[in-house]
Structure 1
């Protein structure tokens, strides 16, 4: 088995090239160029009729299959985004699904609404709470990974932090936690990224083939852990019980476990990687804050939280409108889609004293 932590695998450069990935799915945007227009729109009204890309004069792009052909509304203020997130009955996660008939055995938790979302989230959440993060995750993987990566980077006079650090910490952490080998982790992420409809340069045949690689890898791992449990995330999920309201507790099915594992692998290899890079960039380009965090480690949590506000790796979320409703001055028909702008909301001057800064404070 190749040690994915230190190997110079060319897949790293391919899989962790942010611009290439955005161009591949048709979603490359010059954020610095459009943000003044976004702030202007937010100042004019909390909600605008139309896709944000249309309002900004950008090329069309559908993030979710179910959003195609529907009327969109762009939500840009902190207050309006929070109101939509808190009303899951009217504004549904279901827009994130695909065209297949959805049920609890094939849906991921990002596609679910309460109470289903809460029930499935509880099956995996215990492994991601802070006590586990500071205990099981650190002792099992993270501390050793960071030490080896720093030793690897110290051999040269420079390092590419995106590839040499940010990409490697989460993918190796999640790989070890799930029970995949290093080689399998990169192959899995490559296959998963090329099994979805978002990859414009992948044929349907390639998507089907890559989808089979993903499923075969995970179902094989689940079968192996059922036969011989280990101290990993798959074994934990095999032991946990799903507790839906009004139903008897039951074990998760293999496909439900597989769906959980997909989400964890993609989040670890995507969201965590990007946000780590964003936070490092923010600190390294604001040396006074970098030095403050370096000198006082108690500030580290605040620095991470501020990085999430200042530049979230997922700046837009989508919700399907389930019933005709009035929302911030708009009569919105059922079947429409809300684009919830976390990025603009997190720079909303009505909520933050210095919204553009990396050191902002909430207003009362």
Structure 2
């Protein structure tokens, strides 16, 4: 029997349509995978990915977090400018992260429950017999939630989502942003910068105003305020993450529960299991499949040496399906023991998702409402369509018919 050549191409239809069979081969045959086409390395086993997430001294974020940026910064011998929190290593990262942590405290997230529930109610599909679970529901409310936290005019929220979608889109074989994506990124940046200026002139009780008022220690050890570019970077990052993560998670939920109806029945029978379902969704098909780092030194794993100054993919989507960490990991089971291993669905270590608690809460509220309006449903599989986005797993269209 001839075995095909192992190839991991994160810009291919194979990746966009479901890379899990490829991940399994990588974990078994090449746990430190090298791509000669793109000149990157990839870690896929849970132990290796989790360790690399925590080892910022060896696997640095300072060159960027996607292949295009990391390659460009390596070639230029510099770091991205302006600096954003996701492009920072300690100690700079620690101060910036502490600011955002103040926004996403457990008490602060709990206080948002009413607003989140209200937005989900407002964006339930009008036709609850036939609707697209993504375009008519899960694509709409997350961006409304995050933009309200930022203090944005409600009329602008969906425009933010469209900009973000355009900036993340990648056609098969496309590594760098195309002109449309670049333009969308510019429009997001200009919009966020203008928002910062508005809040400097007229502060409100919102996230941007609190970031304007916040202080961190400067290089000289003295307190300083964030400048406009730093706050603009925060706003763009939080807007993007807030708009995309829950959208993809809920779209995948509708698909996965349709394929595993006994799991949906468990939720119908016992709503207290909804938070467990959210954790299993994050493990089984996380919206963010990988993060890219840059090696700072030669490092040898499993007999393979990753040279310094190379892009390294930390493939959390594979790590969360690693049988070395999880029992029967390719089985979707909301009752599984989630203490077996660290769920890497929201990353791990210092760069774990800023809004993870908010995303979990939004997802739980949304799943509860879907259980209410579609206790029995079927999917029009012929018209389901996945997204083609950088590092993202999810669905663009999931048409459903509710069974009465």
TM over 0.5: yes
TM-score, normalised with respect to structure 2: 0.70
Alignment match of 1:174 (pick from 146, 152, 155): 146
Alignment match of 2:21 (pick from 32, 36, 46): 36
Instruction: Give, in whole Å, the separation in 2 of the partners of 1:245 and 1:358.
Output: 48
Instruction: Give, in whole Å, the separation in 2 of the partners of 1:318 and 1:337.
Output: 6
Q: 1:273–1:76: structure 2 CA closer, same or farther, 3 Å change rule?
A: same
Instruction: Give, in whole Å, the separation in 2 of the partners of 1:286 and 1:246.
Output: 57
Deviations 1:303-324 (A, max 9, x none): 1111111111111111111112
2:252 maps to 278
Q: Displacement, 1:330?
A: 1.6
1:9 maps to none
Across the aligned residues of Structure 1 and Structure 2, the Cα RMSD in angstroms comes to 3.0
Alignment match of 2:32 (pick from 10, 31, 47): 47
Equivalence map 1:1-364=2 (5 Å)? 27-29=12-14, 34-48=19-33, 50-51=34-35, 71-96=39-64, 98=69, 99=72, 102=79, 106-135=82-111, 137-139=112-114, 141-150=115-124, 153-194=125-166, 204=179, 209-243=183-217, 247-359=221-333, 360-361=336-337, 363=340
- SS across alignment from 1:242: strand
Q: 1:235–1:286: structure 2 CA closer, same or farther, 3 Å change rule?
A: same
Instruction: Give, in whole Å, the separation in 2 of the partners of 1:34 and 1:347.
Output: 11
Instruction: Give, in whole Å, the separation in 1 of the partners of 2:304 and 2:177.
Output: 39
Q: Displacement, 1:132?
A: 1.5
Instruction: Give, in whole Å, the separation in 1 of the partners of 2:83 and 2:129.
Output: 46
Q: Contact 1:80/1:328 (CA < 8 Å) preserved in 2?
A: no
Q: Contact 2:42/2:313 (CA < 8 Å) preserved in 1?
A: yes
Q: Displacement, 1:242?
A: 2.3
Q: Contact 1:188/1:213 (CA < 8 Å) preserved in 2?
A: no
Deviations 1:197-242 (A, max 9, x none): 96869765x5665454333322222122122221221112112222
- SS across alignment from 1:106: coil
Q: 1:120–1:212: structure 2 CA closer, same or farther, 3 Å change rule?
A: same
Q: Displacement, 1:243?
A: 3.9
Deviations 1:136-179 (A, max 9, x none): x223x3121122223xx254422211012111110111122212
Q: Contact 2:140/2:158 (CA < 8 Å) preserved in 1?
A: no
Q: Displacement, 1:31?
A: 5.9
Instruction: Give, in whole Å, the separation in 1 of the partners of 2:267 and 2:244.
Output: 25
Deviations 1:4-43 (A, max 9, x none): xxxxxxxxxxxxxxxxxxxxx9554366675323312312
Instruction: Give, in whole Å, the separation in 1 of the partners of 2:11 and 2:31.
Output: 27
Q: Which runs of 5+ in 2 are unaligned?
A: 1-9, 342-404
Bigger drift between 91-100 and 263-272 goes to 91-100
Paired residues, number: 317
Q: Contact 1:95/1:319 (CA < 8 Å) preserved in 2?
A: yes
Higher helix share: 1
Q: Contact 1:95/1:318 (CA < 8 Å) preserved in 2?
A: no
Q: 1:32–1:195: structure 2 CA closer, same or farther, 3 Å change rule?
A: closer
- SS across alignment from 2:52: helix
Q: Contact 1:93/1:110 (CA < 8 Å) preserved in 2?
A: yes
Deviations 1:287-345 (A, max 9, x none): 23223223333322221111111111111111111112222322221112221121111
Q: Which runs of 5+ in 1 are unaligned?
A: 1-24, 55-59, 61-68
Instruction: Give, in whole Å, the separation in 2 of the partners of 1:209 and 1:333.
Output: 35
